[in-house]
């Protein structure tokens, strides 16, 4: 799973969000490192919708502008959980090996 | 509707209808919310992002979700090869000027621009290999557009078809058209192709590097020889401007050699069926190059007839397209003979 996709699913794990809120939330989760643009965001949302990982929650019109809220589906939550397990496993192995290599290198790790 | 909103809508119009019907209003709201107050023009990054994804949606209706099939791998391979070949063409220009010396081949701003546009592909290659796909595709598009503008400017430099001197520019433009064609094929490859890193990873970084170095060495060595780097300078000037069927066949040999080297190096590593498809994508470019150099020789452009000139340009487009159609049929026939080429899902 690519990083933007992972971050979008993570953003929606906290509850339904509209497009611009997803951009803000992804920036917050990644400490400002990932700044999604509209074209990238909607390419990902369209794909995730097609794969059944997210769904439209509701639509609102705010100051004449359309806001569509997206939510994580059960399949999306499952996919995110699998990805988290995979990343956790990789991080654990990397941490163990780093500790063997040099205990100093794992200074910031739990 | 504000000016900014109007401009965003024009960009969103690049998306296919299905996508616009679903997301246009929503995307417009996001774009407006993401724009600082007082802005009247879409930013460069936002524009590049929209153009890139609109093209992807048009060219790949299931953009992103599609499996990495052999055509998408082939498109990426071709983009990589083009990004290697075009800087070498630019380097050939630098070599040509170096060996021609002063007087014989005066360096004009046109030459400098052409060489710059070709060397710029080195940056495209670096961006593509580091995984910055959108930036590499955007730069590739800009360089291709620049080359197309250069071509038209070159064509219009003199009163065309009046005498031999002006005919030279027309010939030169026709002979350079393949660079624009290769740029278009490579740009489309970067937009719709399989992720460069995935293709590079499946082939192996060492193998990829070997292919790049071998291609560069073969093309440079051939050019150095053709330009008479080690010999008489007048001959090297003539080598640049003389075209014969045999001479051009010989000129294409190193490129064919590079293709064989790449083929052998990538064989069985690339997704099954990617290589013949990559060749098929390169066929129209190679045919355009060969056709311009042989059928449309320099003197042929000195005809005082607009009709004959138009026929020349139509041929320059139609012959490569015809060759591409033949190549597509060949890929299909080979695919049937060699068994199924099943698209491989790449994580």
Report the pLDDT value the prediction gives residue B343, as an integer from 0 to 100.
43
| Residue B181 distance to chain A (closest CA, Å) | 27
User: If you average pLDDT over residues B104-108, what whole number do you get?
Assistant: 54
Confidence at residue A27, expressed as pLDDT on a 0 to 100 scale? 95
Which helix (H) or strand (E) segment is B297 a member of? none
Residue B208 or A35, more confident = A35
Q: Cβ of B36 under 8 Å from any chain A Cβ?
A: no
Residue B272 has pLDDT above 60, yes or no: yes
In which band, very low, low, confident or very high, does the pLDDT at A77 lie, cut at 50, 70 and 90?
very high
A41 touches chain B (CB under 8 A): yes
Give me the pLDDT at residue B104, please.
45
* CA atoms of B112 and B253, how far apart (whole Å): 27
Q: B56 or B172: which carries more pLDDT confidence? A: B56
Mean pLDDT value across residues B152-161:
67
SS (H, E, C) A5-21: HHHHHHHHCCCCEEHHH
Residues of A in contact with B191 (CB under 8 A): none
Question: Comparing C-alpha atoms, which of B78, B92, B81, B90 is closest to residue B220?
Answer: B92
Rounded distance between C-alpha atoms, residue B316 and residue B305, angstroms: 17
H or E element: which one contains A68?
strand A65-72
pLDDT attached to residue B134: 85
Please give the backbone phi and psi of residue A65, each rounded to the nearest 5 degrees, phi first. Answer: -110, 140
Nearest Cβ partner for B46 among A38, A47, A67 = A38
Mean pLDDT, chain B, whole residue set:
75
Please, are residues B94 and B102 in contact by the beta-carbon 8 Å criterion?
Answer: no
pLDDT > 70 fraction of chain B, expressed in percent and rounded: 61
- What is the pLDDT confidence band of residue B192, given thresholds at 50, 70 and 90? confident
pLDDT of residue B297: 57
- How would you classify residue A65: left for phi > 0, otherwise alpha for psi between -120 and 50, otherwise beta? beta
Residue of A nearest to B66 (CA): A47
State the Cα–Cα distance between residues A70 and B324, nearest whole angstrom. 44
Give the closest of A20, A41, A47 to B65, CB-based: A47
- In this prediction, residue B167 has a pLDDT band, given cuts at 50, 70 and 90, of low
Hey, how many other C-beta atoms are within 10 angstroms of the C-beta on B107?
Answer: 14
3-state secondary structure of A36: coil
Helices A38-50, B44-59: crossing angle, 10 deg rounding: 30
- Give all strands (DSSP E) within chain B, no chain letters: none
Which of A37, A41, A53, A83 would you mutate first to test chain B, the one with the most B CBs within 10 A?
Answer: A37
Residue A17 β-bridge partners = A70
Taking 70 as the threshold, does the pLDDT of residue B340 lie above it? no
pTM given for the model:
0.67
Over range B173-196, report the average pLDDT: 86
pLDDT for A53: 93
Sorting pLDDT into bands at 50, 70 and 90, what band is A7?
Answer: very high
Burial class from Cβ neighbours inside 10 Å (0-12, 13-18, 19+) for residue A88 reads exposed
Q: B289-309 as b/e, with b when 16 or more CB fall inside 10 Å?
A: bbbbbeebbbeebbeeeeeeb
CB–CB contact B34 A66 (8 Å): no
- What is the pLDDT at residue B345? 40
pLDDT for B96 equals 65
Is the CB of residue B291 less than 8 Å from the CB of residue B314?
A: no
Would you say residue B140 has pLDDT above 70?
yes
- The 8-class DSSP code of residue B158 comes to S
The residue that leads in pLDDT, B104 or A8, is A8
Inter-chain CB proximity A20 and B30 less than 8 Å: yes
Question: Which DSSP symbol is given to B13?
Answer: T
Question: A86-105 pLDDT, tens per residue?
Answer: 999 999 999 999 888 887 76
Residues from chain B that touch A50, judged by Cβ atoms under 8 A, are: 62, 65
Query: How sure is the predictor about B129, in pLDDT bands with cuts at 50, 70 and 90?
Result: confident
For A21-76, the pLDDT digits (tens) are: 999 999 999 999 999 999 999 999 998 998 899 999 998 888 888 889 999 999 99
Taking CB atoms and an 8 Å cutoff, what residues of chain B touch A25? Answer: none
Q: What pLDDT does residue B40 have?
A: 87
Edge-to-edge strand order for the sheet containing A65-72? A17-18, A65-72, A54-62
Q: In angstroms, rounded to a whole number, what is the distance separating the alpha carbons of residues A68 and A57? A: 8
Give dist(CA B281, CA B188) in Å, integer: 11
At B280 the pLDDT is 87
Asked whether A76 and A54 are in contact (CB, 8 A), the reply is yes
Q: What is the pLDDT of residues B10-58, one digit of tens each?
A: 999 999 888 999 999 999 999 999 888 888 899 888 898 898 898 888 8
Q: What is the pLDDT of residues B289-325, one digit of tens each?
A: 878 766 665 545 555 556 666 777 788 888 899 999 8
Q: Which residues does chain A have within 8 Å of residue B28's beta carbon, measured at their own beta carbons? A: 65
Q: How far is B125 from chain A (nearest CA, A)?
A: 21
ipTM score of complex: 0.86
Residue of B nearest to A63 (CA): B29
Q: Do B31 and A38 touch (CB under 8 A)?
A: yes
Given a contact cutoff of 8 angstroms between Cβ atoms, the answer to whether B64 and A47 are in contact is yes
Predicted pLDDT of residue B344: 42
């Amino acid at each position: 799973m690519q990083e933007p996709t992972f971050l979008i699913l993570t953003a929606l794990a906290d509850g339904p969000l509209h497009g611009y809120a997803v951009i803000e939330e992804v920036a917050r989760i990644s400490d400002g490192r990932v700044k999604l643009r509209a074209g990238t965001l909607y390419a990902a949302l369209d794909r995730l919708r097609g794969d059944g990982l997210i769904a439209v929650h509701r639509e609102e019109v705010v100051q004449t502008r359309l806001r569509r809220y997206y939510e994580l589906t059960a399949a999306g939550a499952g996919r995110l959980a699998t990805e988290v397990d995979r990343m956790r496993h990789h991080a654990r192995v990397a941490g163990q090996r780093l500790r063997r290599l040099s205990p100093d290198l794992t200074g910031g790790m739990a | 509707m504000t000016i900014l909103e109007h401009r965003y809508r024009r960009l969103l119009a690049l998306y296919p209808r299905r996508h616009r019907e679903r997301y246009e209003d929503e995307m417009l709201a996001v774009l407006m919310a993401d724009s600082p107050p007082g802005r009247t023009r879409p930013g460069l990054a936002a524009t590049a992002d929209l153009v890139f994804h609109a093209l992807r949606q048009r060219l790949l209706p299931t953009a992103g979700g599609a499996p990495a099939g052999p055509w998408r791998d082939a498109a990426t391979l071709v983009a990589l090869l083009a990004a290697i070949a075009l800087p070498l063409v630019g380097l050939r220009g630098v070599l040509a000027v170096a060996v021609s010396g002063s007087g014989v081949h005066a360096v004009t701003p046109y030459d400098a621009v052409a060489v710059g546009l070709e060397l710029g592909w080195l940056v495209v290659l670096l961006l593509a290999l580091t995984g910055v796909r959108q930036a590499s595709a955007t730069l590739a598009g800009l360089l291709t557009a620049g080359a197309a503008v250069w071509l038209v400017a070159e064509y219009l430099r003199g009163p065309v078809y009046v005498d031999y001197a002006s005919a030279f520019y027309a010939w030169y433009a026709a002979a350079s058209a393949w660079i624009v064609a290769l740029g278009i094929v490579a740009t489309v490859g970067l937009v719709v192709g399989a992720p460069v890193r995935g293709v590079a990873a499946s082939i192996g970084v060492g193998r990829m590097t070997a292919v790049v170095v071998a291609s560069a060495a073969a093309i440079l060595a051939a050019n150095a020889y053709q330009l008479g780097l080690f010999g008489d300078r007048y001959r090297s000037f003539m080598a640049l401007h003389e075209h014969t069927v045999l001479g051009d066949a010989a000129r294409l040999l190193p490129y064919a050699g590079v293709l064989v080297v790449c083929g052998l190096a990538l064989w069985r590593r690339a997704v099954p069926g990617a290589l013949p498809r990559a060749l098929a994508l390169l066929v129209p470019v190679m045919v355009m190059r060969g056709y311009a150099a042989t059928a449309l020789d320099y003197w042929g452009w000195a005809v005082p007839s607009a009709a004959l000139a138009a026929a020349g340009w139509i041929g320059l487009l139609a012959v490569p397209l015809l060759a591409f159609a033949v190549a597509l049929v060949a890929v299909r026939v080979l695919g049937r003979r060699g068994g199924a080429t099943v698209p491989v899902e790449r994580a």
